[in-house]
A = this chain, B = another copy of it.
Amino acid sequence: MKIALMNEFSQAAKNPIILNELTGVANKYGHTVFNVGMDGDNDNKLTYVHLGIIGAILLNSKAVDFVISGCGTGQGALMALNAFPGVNCGYCLDPTDAYLFAQVNNGNALALAFAKGYGWGGELNARYIFEKAFEGEKGLGYPPERRESQNANAIILNDMKKAAGKSLIESLKSIDQTLLKDAIKGERFQKCLFENSQDAELTAYIKSVLA
Cβ of A122 within 8 Å of any chain B Cβ, yes or no, is yes
A-B contact pairs, 14 of them (CB 8 A): A52-B157, A75-B91, A75-B105, A76-B104, A78-B90, A95-B128, A96-B128, A99-B124, A116-B120, A116-B121, A118-B119, A160-B175, A164-B165, A166-B166
How near does chain B come to A23, taking the closest CB pair, in angstroms?
19
User: Copy number in this complex?
Assistant: 4
A89 at the interface (CB under 8 A from B): yes
Please tell me which one of the listed residues B88, B100, B120, B175 contacts residue A79 in the complex, with CB atoms under 8 A apart: B88
Q: How many Å lie between the Cα of A121 and that of B205 in the bound state?
A: 41
Contact A120 B142, CB 8 Å, known A101-B73, A132-B128: yes
Min C-beta distance of A10 to chain B, whole Å: 7
A56 nearest CB across to chain B (Å) = 9
* Min CB gap A105→B, angstroms: 5
Asked whether B128 lies within 8 Å of A119 as measured between CB atoms, the reply is: no
Measured CB to CB, the nearest residue on chain B to A153 is B47
B153 to A176, Cβ gap below 8 A?
no
Contact with B along A73-114 (1 / 0, CB 8 A): 101101110111000111101111101110011010000010
In the complex, the chain B residue whose C-beta lies closest to that of A10 is B146
Q: Is the CB of B75 within 8 A of A100?
A: yes
A174: chain B residues within 8 A (beta carbon): 163-164
Q: Which residue of B lies closest to A110 (CB)?
A: B75
